[in-house]
Amino acid sequence: MSYQITVQPSGRAFSAEAGETLLDAGLRQGLILPYGCKDGACGACKGKVVSGSVDHGKSQPHALTDDEKAAGMTLFCCASAQTDLVIECKQLALASDIPVKTLPSRIEKLDKLAPDVIEMHLRLPANERFEFLAGQYIDILLKDGKKRSYSLASPPRDENMLELHIRHVPGGLFTEQVFSTLKVRDILRFNGPHGSFYLREDSSKPMILLAGGTGFAPVKSIVEHAIAKGITRPMFIYWGAKARVDLYQNALPEKWAADHANIKFFPVLTEPAAGDEWTGRTGFVHQAVLADFPDLSGYQVYACGSPLMIEAAKRDFAAQGMPEEEFFADAFTFSTT
């Protein structure tokens, strides 16, 4: 059985199979809808059910409260239709604007940036052109049919060489291979691009780029793309990590800030190590933003990190005036299965 889903205010319609999430159905039929973790944790895909009934699925209570459910809200990454629906959601674009491809790639470089972070470069076939938007991600396709998602750290102009920042997850199905058995010249297949986390080039608002850990990867893509395009909007980069070693490419944003008057960089550590001799800022990275910007009403925010960081930033930034439609997020989740 399938159901008809109508999206307001765009008027676009698509069908969803019984048990299929609304997000998956929309993406399958060419719509790009806002989303982040796709796991019911970050709330980026939250929207209103104007009419009809849904099963809320595995949505997590901190991302979708009982009061929000009662008010007609749901998480499109978890909800499945029980009837025909009318939903309210900002449709960003058509996926057909940039084709999603499945391609082979060859590992060109594996550099350890930190004890638990490897920079992987993937070279595409010479005759392939891979288009993506700064900030999007790809899915690495594993032999058992599973996949792992990684943000692209390279800017879109690098269409034949893709850069990924991969954090070691102990017991992780893919990251254990990256840190032990994979080697240069090995072949990996991937599918992409994916995601609604990308630079909105049509805006002139100053940007706050908030990264936690390897959430720096898509921020790097966005900033390098903006520099290459001559975008001079103010960019305030906040990178949060546990200790100094976790700021694995700290010299790069420092150079951006030194070379470009519109770019400022603020590293923040939660637990500096004894030998770090850290004199910079400490605490939660999103709280550093709150301290620096008591009024966020005129800003765009691009946040990438753990679901808890995304949730806290979205809630607290809204309390300081940030418009909901100007908050763009990509939540990183980790799996060992």
- Closest to 34 measured CA to CA, from 322, 332, 333, 325: 325
pLDDT at 260: 98
Q: Which domains does the chain have, with CATH numbers?
A: 2-94 (3.10.20.30), 98-194 (2.40.30.10), 207-331 (3.40.50.80)
0.75 surpassed by pTM? yes
What is the rounded distance in angstroms from the CA atom of residue 317 to the CA atom of residue 327? 9
What is the rounded distance in angstroms from the CA atom of residue 42 to the CA atom of residue 36? 7
pLDDT at 63: 85
pLDDT tens for the 337 residues of the chain, in order: 899 999 988 788 899 999 999 988 887 776 767 776 777 877 778 899 999 999 999 888 888 999 999 999 999 999 999 999 999 987 655 444 688 899 999 999 999 999 999 999 999 998 888 989 999 999 999 988 899 999 999 999 876 899 999 999 999 889 999 999 999 999 999 999 988 889 998 899 999 999 999 999 999 999 999 999 999 999 999 999 999 999 999 999 999 999 999 999 999 999 999 899 999 999 999 999 999 999 999 999 999 999 999 999 999 999 999 999 999 998 876 555 5
DSSP letter string, 160-220: SEEEEEEE--TT-TTHHHHTTT--TT-EEEEEEEE-S----TT--S-EEEEEEGGGHHHHH
What is the rounded distance in angstroms from the CA atom of residue 238 to the CA atom of residue 219? 10
The angle, 0 to 180 degrees and rounded to 10, between the axes of the packed helices 216-228 and 251-259 is 30
pLDDT at 127: 82
